[in-house]
Chain A
Amino acid sequence: MVYKGTIVKEERNFILVMTENCQYLKLNKKGKNQLGNEIMFLDEDIIKSKNNFKLSYGVAAVLVFLMITTVLFGGVGINTFVGTKVYAVVSLDINPSVEFKIDENNIVKEINPLNDDGKAIINSDMVGMSIEDAIYQGIENAIEGNYINVDNDTVLVSEAKIEVNTKLQISIKQKIVEKIEQSNSVEKIKLVYINSNEKSLKEAKESNVSIGKYELYKKIADKNKNISLNNIKEMNVTEIIREDKAITQDYEIKMNKKDKEEKEKYKEKDDDKKKDKEKKEENDKENGQNKGNGSDKEIDKDRDIDKVKDRDKDRDKDEDKDKDEKEQGNGRDDDKEIVKEKEKNDDKEIVKKKEKDEDKEIGKDNKKNEDREKSNGRDDDKEKKEDDEDDEDEKEKVKSNINENKKDKDNEKEEKVKDEEIEKEKDKDGEKTNSNNNTEEKGKSEKEDKGKSGKKK
């Protein structure tokens, strides 16, 4: 159709015309047309501003609606395509990271792998399973896929409730723990369980990381500002926890018999912490005691963790003492040996600490004597270093002793038993050191040393 109209206004990018039908229209500008002239134009020249407005309003409305739904629902993970409500989000991290959305009956409604490895440990059957079964199967798959092995044994489970429902919270954690405890195929894993909340979930979603890892990041970032969220994303959980063992202490649930004893200790220490957790842990403790005694190695690990914490806190104080001792001893020939020795010494010291809660100085002296006895065959330099380290450890132990005072009598008994065992080990170690056989020592204390030696290296 051909229109005729008079140009009533000229602008930079368009002209306005009044048509012979008394319509005012906006046209694309072409060349030089004089104001007031009557021109002929076609449909294609008309800028349909009103229609465009309607369209863009519509588009904008749809966009706003989408955004609102994403923020309100998608962002928090409430809505699924089925329309069922999601009551909580549970994340599983090994390094494969997976996120499960579950409903009020703990049934998995949606699975989101958060990285490529995550896709390897899930399958579509998991939808419709109860959460503990899904987590358990995920862990089993991870073991099969060699994501969980001797070097990489920490499993991080974290949950964030969207609908606040305390019953739900307790039962998820308990069910998962029970499920893994009962299983035969899943044995040597460290389970870290962190309760999160909706806020963290949102923040984690924004940075595209699992809630569990995000919670770890928050805890680590407080102490170590060098670690970025991106680093955390790419590290596997075992590595993250190696960064700062203290952080996960409170959240660790160990599934092995040995580990259960450790749980008990933690529970006692963390009296002030959440009551729910304590209850659960107590249950765990009872189970653990029934099952048997923890191995010396694992106990040692726990001790090491404690020491690490203590060291961090007490370093300043220790430094003064260290300086004096350092003056005596120069040149560390074998760092690895020293580390091992330190660890051994630490073990000994722990024993001593418990025994000598009241008298710090006496404890120190005894330790030193023992150390000297052990390292008879060694060079004087090494002995000096060891002594220095021992002193530090002793101080830490003193502090830890204060903490330990809170422990129950039962624990003290167990500790004594442990101490005796540790002493035996020490004797062995001493013999080894006498024969200058460092490799044997390494072998014994492999697990214990991994964390520390990794750091020191």
Chain B
Amino acid sequence: MTRILNLFKGKKETLETRLKKIKDGDKEEREKLISDYQPFIIKAITKVTNKYIETENDDEYSIGLLAFNEAIDKYDFNKGSFLSFAQLLIRNRVIDFLRKESTGQITVSIDDDNVSEVEVKTALVNKDFTIELDMKDQIIKFQDRLDQFGISMEELVESSPKHIDSRLNSIEIAKFIVENMDIKEELYSKKAMPVNVLIARKGVSRKVLKRNRKFIIATVLIIDSDSQLLIEYINGVERRELSGI
């Protein structure tokens, strides 16, 4: 009977039972819950910061994860829903962090210890800043080169293959182009895909080339650039796909 009831009550019941499990000391379940509720955490953080969380130099995300973890610990089953409690806690922690961060930068103490701390911080910030600039520069270059082929970023969004298999296929074609200098040169000089050569040498269908033309060209441009992050994305896709993620 209770089983049937549980079925009807659905997720909420499950969340509570999961929380009980965690409180009883199930560490694995805790990790699982946190990863399951990642989108929730991100959403809660974004509500405060009102911008996308940047993975590299943002501490908000880890603050949010910590706050969620804390919420699990502090949650009292008698006090309303867990999610609203967790959201409140994340919000408070993130706000606290942001306030600390801004005040910390403004108040520069004459204290020796503090001075050294500030120096370290600025060094870190500077490093991030150069990386950021570099990244930005690379992307602007990427856009320029796309422009030369008459492709805009918006078009890429609309015409890039949605299915992972066709994306992988296109990436493979792009890699083939980069690996063969003659084909790459032809692409760059003519500003058009050497369709016939590819059909002859790679054995792909004209339809695939035509349909994914923009995506393939963009991928060639990325691979042939020094934008490590984007190259990493492209390489990562295959790796992740191979490892089954």
Contacts and interface: CB of A to CB of B under 8 A. Distances in A.
Q: Do A and B bind each other?
A: yes
Interface of A: 1-2, 4, 6-9, 16, 18-27, 30-45, 49-50, 53
A32 to B, nearest CB: 6
Contacts of B55: 4, 38-40
B171 interface: yes
B85 interface: no
A49 B158 CA distance: 7
A202 B169 CA distance: 57
A34 B134 CA distance: 12
B132 A36 contact: yes
A31 B49 contact: yes
B139 interface: yes
A26 B153 CA distance: 10
B132 to A, nearest CB: 6
A26 B157 contact: yes
Quick one: which of B51, B137, B153 has the most chain A CB within 10 A? B153
A2 B38 contact: yes
Given A35-B140, A40-B42, A42-B43, A20 B54 contact: no
Given A22-B237, A34-B136, A37-B132, A16 B157 contact: yes
Contacts of B233: 6, 18-22
A50 B158 contact: yes
10 contacts: A20-B240, A22-B160, A22-B167, A22-B219, A23-B167, A38-B56, A39-B53, A39-B55, A40-B42, A42-B43
B98 to A, nearest CB: 12
B142 A42 contact: no
Interface string B121-150: 000000000001011111110110000000
A28 to B, nearest CB: 9
Given A37-B135, A42-B42, A25 B157 contact: yes
A390 B218 CA distance: 97
A43 B42 CA distance: 12
B50 A30 contact: yes
A45 B52 CA distance: 9
Contacts of A34: 54, 132, 136
Given A31-B52, A37-B56, A45-B52, A2 B42 contact: yes
A20 B236 contact: yes
Nearest to B167: A22
Given A34-B136, A45-B52, A50 B162 contact: yes
Contact of B52 (A26, A33, A35): A33
B244 interface: no
Nearest to B35: A2
